[in-house]
Structure 1
């Protein structure tokens, strides 16, 4: 889909998207969304440049993403998609700054751009030329990336509270019952899965921040206007702050993950501990039962009227003596 916009006094003004007669002179922004090969070819002929492919825009090499050629800047960065994206939902956007025009090429819906167009068209955002439009677009994208990082931080806070809310000390203070071992382990396992999802989201956002940071620095180096240079420096500052917050989230996730795994280990160790105590307490009674279960004719208590009660009492006494001994030594 091809969309053309002119910059007027009241904001953006849409133009007819017809390149058969060439580009309109007033077209300041050309937005190419999931273009067809025909649309790409028509735009390249109208501008006289080669638009980067999706593979080039999403490449890891800076030489593929950031190119200055004959006064034209071709810059690509990753941006998030949707308000609650899956971890893999990022798309590359290519910004082409050529002459008095700005071209954006994207292969999907970027959440920050469509609301930006609505706000710009209503006059809420001001930009007098393509340079101001580029800075405003980057500011809108950075704001959305920061919002999504904050959402990840809020979800991590809720996860942290959920992990530690049912702890033993907390349960004792509040007078509540602990969750059964199986349910508590399942709850902690779900928390680990949620942490994994948030880690994947934060990793994708970190890629967006790093690519946008390189783009802003590259555009700032080639900025001719003082105002654009200052705005791009401000964008860089915001992106560095976002990168620091992302690093904080990574540390927080590592702590919550380690704590969750530790709690699961404690739960499992408690279960093994209790099974060990029970097995040790049952060893003396089993020994007594084994002695009186031997098939020898000369066992004195074999024909005794109170032999059964005697054996049961001896088994109970041996278990009780073992329990008191463990209790005195502090093993229970």
Structure 2
């Protein structure tokens, strides 16, 4: 048996049919004396519905899935660099791709005859978004044998903002040094010095205003990047909570399936015991009928014996009478 091909086939089977298909494949492998294949197939776990849809999606749109996963390093770099514009751009691209792929996966599931509601489609979105942050999960998505997806820590904490531009600006109106008394003609020189000082003050003011504007822009960019990162973190927290709830739901479904199996076994045993009891009752009824027939036969035989004895007695009396004559 080609184990890889068989596992690939199994992970395309709808989750509600997975256990029966897996057990049948394992039984065929055992019948072929392929114990390794039987063991590997029997160990396969039923995928969640979202994981099953992701497996169908990888088969149908592998290039598009790879294109989405290729955004992981770009998105991580944008988050680390606090580049608000780049982060907005790559986040928008990610959201477009994830949405389109999730809708495509839902359509594939419906084409396979499954009911795919908005909740399951949302789960597929979370699978794809989680794969962007978790390389191991991304590899399992690529494999087409995804069973479920686990919690991840996102892209990691954002790096601290840079130390910024220069420190606080100097006071443009620093005290001027005391000037020594001017000789004759100093009025003209003082006038020239005043114009130069004014130009210098204007230059310092413009420079200070430029630095202040740059500082404001830097702070605004940092604030926006932090706000965006906090929003991403809030979405991630909600996603993880929903994932945990989904995993609990899947575990509950597994427990329900096992309970169904035990119930079916019990019903089969009841049916077997009922059939056995019916057979025993039929045998008892046959025995009762045989006993009744034997009783009737015994009574008939006893009557015949009694009549025979009476006949014998009369015959003996007649014989004795003849002898006495």
Query: If the TM-score is normalised by the length of the shorter chain, which range does it land in?
Result: 0.3 to 0.5
Higher strand share: 1
TM-score (norm 1): 0.33
User: In terms of Rg, which structure is larger?
Assistant: 2
Alignment TM-score, normalising by the size of structure 2: 0.34
Higher relative contact order (CA 8 A, sep 6+): 2
